[in-house]
Structure 1
Amino acid sequence: MPFVLRSASYYTGDRRHFPEGTRGFLYYCQPNPGAPLVAGQIRFRLTPGNDPASFIQGSDLLMPNGLPWSIPLLMIAGEKIKDQGDSATGIWQQLVDDGLVTPTLLETWGATMKASKLAPIPSSRIIHSFGQLFHVDFDLNCFYFFLLTMNQLRRQRYYGLFTEYEDHPIIRPYLGSALCCFERSILPQHNGTRTVVIRIVKMISPPICVYPDYNGCIPLPVEGELVHYHYKRWGLQPKSYNVDSPGHASLKMLFRDES
């Protein structure tokens, strides 16, 4: 049956209301093949009418950051375990009744998050695969995200992707934001290694330099290009992370199809 969405406050963590006349169907978006089963999401499909046949003609409701509005399955599992009210319980039961997920999956992940004391908030970046889009503000000091494996959830922190951090004070030269993704590097300098780079896939808010005549370590972000940094030792290079080095071993799970 169709729904009318009026408020995003419960699952987006703010008091922003959906656009007037937001109508369509809630549906379960299965994770891509090879991704963790718990990576599924509830999404909202905007449709031209109330007929379920119009679903294919619709499009997912997008948030201002360019990503689909969603309720991650991880949140549903975690909130049900914490007894956070009828909403999480109702969604949990509907997913199970429709055969979309198993009770064991939800119970296992709910217990895992409770034991580890990890609880992704609605705006969390939950990353599990190469090519998966995530939103980044250019003026972030630190880049936080949750790394989801087949059986584990880890909280990660990296210095801001567009932050000049080799000297103090830390410099954040740009305002703006973009959708980015992790990729396996195919650059010649990374041949024979398992190295991750970051691509700027789509600009959401074009970069604005806040320092006149800035000529520092961070080149202007460009849509379609990799994130670069001007290192004192190596010059201008793509930011990269060798997952077989101790400092970036957590990203190794992105190579889960390799031994």
Structure 2
Amino acid sequence: MASCVLSRLPKKAIPDIRTLEPSKLIPSDFVDLSGRSPVAYNARLADNSRIRTVSALYYAYALGDNARFPTDTRGFLYFHAPSREVRFRLLASNDPRHFAKGTDLALPSGEAWCLKTAVLATRARAAGFRALLRQDGVRMDALAESSSHRPATQPSLWQRRKHAHRVTRLGETFPVQFASRQISLAVGTPAALVSWKSPFTRSVQPQDSGQALIAFERSPLPEHRGRRVLVLRVHKISGKPQLRPERKALPNHHLYMPKEGSLIYRKKRGASLRPEPWSYDLDVQRRRVSDRVFEMFRKLWDDDVS
């Protein structure tokens, strides 16, 4: 029965992209990426032929492949000629005459979201965009050449994905999207890469597209006194999170809701209904000497001078 209901739910349409040239945009080029990941697209050429590209657009690799585009990601995909990148121009309406008044979609780091030159020139997921750019008069040979001459020190896509957010000390904030299942960080100096389960997976709705700036700190809680326990504190929230429906019916359900200035709480493992703060006990985990997460968290603790 449930599968029948799910099969009748409307699916979000795959957007048709007909141009990436801002001066040629029309209202039908307006697309809505809100809460989606990954996003497929169709490149519709002048002869009405179609190039379909699946798993093409992601919001932020550093937040995980399933990181969804933020709420209200509506506007136009376009080619930003100065940087030779495809960007997303946020607009409240589908009228391209207001294009100049819009702003570009940003990543949690504050940088503009984009498909970089190297991706446009070489990656399969940009094949439709390459065809549209040729149609719009962009010299693809020049694009490929500029990509091949990028500095050797520029990180690869994999490195950018993993090194985007670096934490060198306790109290240093980093962004987490509520929709992400995993967190990846470059921890310490020199940096080592660690990934672990998001602290929000047992509290807020997984489809929520809000995000927060959070930071590790030594636990101030009485029950952790005398032990090496790390907790997470919320410093800033962008986009209001929503509690899972089952959390709202529980006692002290307000503790599950992330709040600026407060520790992160989640459902306690097992049958207990009591929320517990997210914590990482280094004294309990020390037996797992091969645990990469433990080694990096221990380094943060040991390097803390506060």
TM-score w.r.t. the length of structure 2 is 0.44
Q: What residue in structure 2 maps to residue 150 of structure 1?
A: 189
Aligned ranges 1:171-210 → 2 under 5 Å: 172=206, 174-209=208-243
User: How far off its partner does 1:88 sit?
Assistant: 3.4
Q: Which whole-Å CA distance do the structure 2 matches of 1:227 and 1:199 have between them?
A: 6
Contact 2:228 2:282 in 1 (8 A): yes
User: How far off its partner does 1:229 sit?
Assistant: 1.5
Q: What residue in structure 2 maps to residue 231 of structure 1?
A: 268
Identical columns (%): 20
User: How far off its partner does 1:240 sit?
Assistant: 0.5
Q: Which whole-Å CA distance do the structure 1 matches of 2:82 and 2:162 have between them?
A: 14
Contact 2:232 2:279 in 1 (8 A): yes
- Output the amino acid matched with 1:252: R
- Output the amino acid matched with 1:88: P
Which among 164, 167, 185 is matched to residue 202 of structure 2? 164
Contact 1:199 1:226 in 2 (8 A): yes
Contact 1:179 1:203 in 2 (8 A): yes
Which among 166, 170, 174 is matched to residue 126 of structure 1? 166
CA RMSD in angstroms comes to 4.4
Which protein is bigger by CA-based radius of gyration?
A: 2
Q: What residue in structure 2 maps to residue 88 of structure 1?
A: 151
Which among 162, 175, 179 is matched to residue 135 of structure 1? 175
Q: Which whole-Å CA distance do the structure 2 matches of 1:8 and 1:215 have between them?
A: 50
Query: 2:297 aligned with 1:251, yes or no?
Result: yes
In structure 2, relative to structure 1, the CA distance for the partners of 1:201 and 1:242 (3 Å cut) is: same
Q: Which runs of 5+ in 2 are unaligned?
A: 1-79, 91-98, 113-146
Q: Which runs of 5+ in 1 are unaligned?
A: 22-61, 71-83, 93-109
Q: What residue in structure 2 maps to residue 221 of structure 1?
A: 258
Q: Which whole-Å CA distance do the structure 1 matches of 2:267 and 2:243 have between them?
A: 17
Q: What residue in structure 2 maps to residue 15 of structure 1?
A: 87
User: How far off its partner does 1:125 sit?
Assistant: 2.2
In structure 2, relative to structure 1, the CA distance for the partners of 1:221 and 1:173 (3 Å cut) is: farther
TM-score w.r.t. the length of structure 1 is 0.50
SS at match of 1:121: helix
Q: Which whole-Å CA distance do the structure 1 matches of 2:221 and 2:167 have between them?
A: 23
User: How far off its partner does 1:255 sit?
Assistant: 2.1
Contact 1:134 1:180 in 2 (8 A): yes
